[in-house]
Amino acid sequence: MYEEGDEAQDDCGSREEWTLLFWTSLAVIVPVIITLWCSAQRSKRKTHMKDFFRKSKHGWHYTDLFNKPTYCCVCSQHILQGAFCDCCGVCADEQCLRRADRSLPCKEIMAPSDCDGAMEHRWVRGNVPLASYCAVCKQQCGTQPKLCDFRCVWCQTTVHDDCMDSLVDADQCDLGEFHSLIIPPHYLYRVNKLRRRHPDEYSKLASSCGSGWTPVLVLANTRSGNNMGEALLGEFRTLLNPVQVFDLSELTPSKALQLCTLLPPGSVRVLVCGGDGTVGWVLDAIDTMKLKGQDQFIPRVTILPLGTGNDLSNTLGWGAGYAGEIPVEQVLRNILDAEVVKMDRWKVQVASKGLYFRKPKVLSMNNYFSVGPDALMALNFHTHREKTPSFFSSRIINKAVYFLYGTKDCLVQECKDLDKRIELELDGERVALPSLEGIIVCNIGYWGGGCRLWEGMGDEPCPPTRLDDGLLEVVGVFGSFHCAQIQVKLANPVRLGQAHTVRLVLKSSKMPMQVDGEPWAQGPCTITITHKTQALMLYHSAEQTDDDDESSASETESPTPQDSPRPPGPASARA
pLDDT tens sequence across 330-349? 999 999 999 999 999 999 99
Please check whether residue 548 lies inside any domain of the structure: no
Kindly state whether residues 49 and 140 are assigned to the same domain.
no
The residue count of the chain comes to 575
Reference 297, options 254, 251, 240, 237; nearest CA is 254
Same domain, 452 and 327: no
pTM: 0.82
Q: What is the tally of helices (H) and strands (E) in the chain?
A: 14, 26
Please, what is the angle between helix 373-387 and helix 395-412, to 10°?
Answer: 130
Whether residues 185 and 325 fall in one domain? yes
Cα separation of 404 and 391, whole Å?
15
200 occurs within a structural domain: yes
pLDDT tens across 421-437, in order? 899 999 999 999 988 88
Looking at the structure, tell me whether residues 357 and 489 fall in a common domain: yes
Q: Is 32 a domain residue? A: no
3 state SS of 281:
helix
Is 547 among the domain residues?
no
Domain count, the chain: 4
Domain that holds residue 305: 179-337
Mark whether 367 and 280 lie in a shared domain.
no
Reduce the DSSP state of residue 506 to 3 states and report it: strand
| 191 and 260 co-located in one domain | yes
Q: Does 2 fall in a domain? A: no
CB of 168 closer than 8 Å to CB of 159: no
Q: What is the pLDDT of residue 395?
A: 59
Instruction: CATH number of the domain at 128, please.
Output: 3.30.60.20
Closest CA to 222 of 393, 402, 396, 398: 393
Give the domain-ending residue among 337, 358, 392.
Answer: 337
CATH number at residue 239: 3.40.50
Residue 490, in any domain of the structure: yes
Same domain (yes/no): 209, 297: yes
Same domain, 325 and 211: yes
Query: What is the spatial distance between Cα 534 and Cα 286, in angstroms, rounded to a whole number?
Result: 11
261 burial (CB, 10 Å; 0-12 / 13-18 / 19+) is middle
Residue 390 is part of a domain; what is its CATH number? Answer: 2.60.200.40
Looking at the fold, whether 208 and 124 belong to one and the same domain comes out as no
Instruction: Identify residue 81 by its one-letter amino acid code.
Output: Q
Return per-residue pLDDT of the chain as tens, 575 residues. Answer: 445 555 666 666 677 778 888 888 888 888 888 888 877 777 766 676 778 888 888 999 888 888 889 999 999 999 988 899 999 999 999 889 999 999 999 998 998 877 666 788 999 999 998 889 999 999 999 888 999 999 999 999 999 999 998 887 777 888 999 999 999 999 999 998 887 888 888 888 888 888 889 999 999 988 776 667 888 999 999 999 999 999 998 899 999 999 999 999 989 999 999 888 899 999 999 999 999 989 999 999 999 998 777 889 999 999 888 888 899 999 999 999 999 999 999 999 999 887 666 788 899 999 999 998 888 877 876 665 665 655 555 555 555 655 565 555 454 556 777 888 899 999 999 999 988 889 999 999 888 777 888 887 666 677 888 899 999 999 998 887 888 788 778 888 899 999 999 999 998 888 889 998 888 988 999 999 999 999 999 999 864 444 444 444 333 333 333 333 344 333 333 22
Q: For residues 354 and 333, state if they share a domain.
A: no
Angstrom distances, CA of residue 301 to CA of 75, 221, 265, 280, 451: 44, 15, 15, 11, 23
Residue 573: inside a domain, yes or no?
Answer: no
In a domain, 234, yes or no: yes
Q: Are residues 324 and 228 in the same domain?
A: yes
Q: Are residues 194 and 247 in the same domain?
A: yes
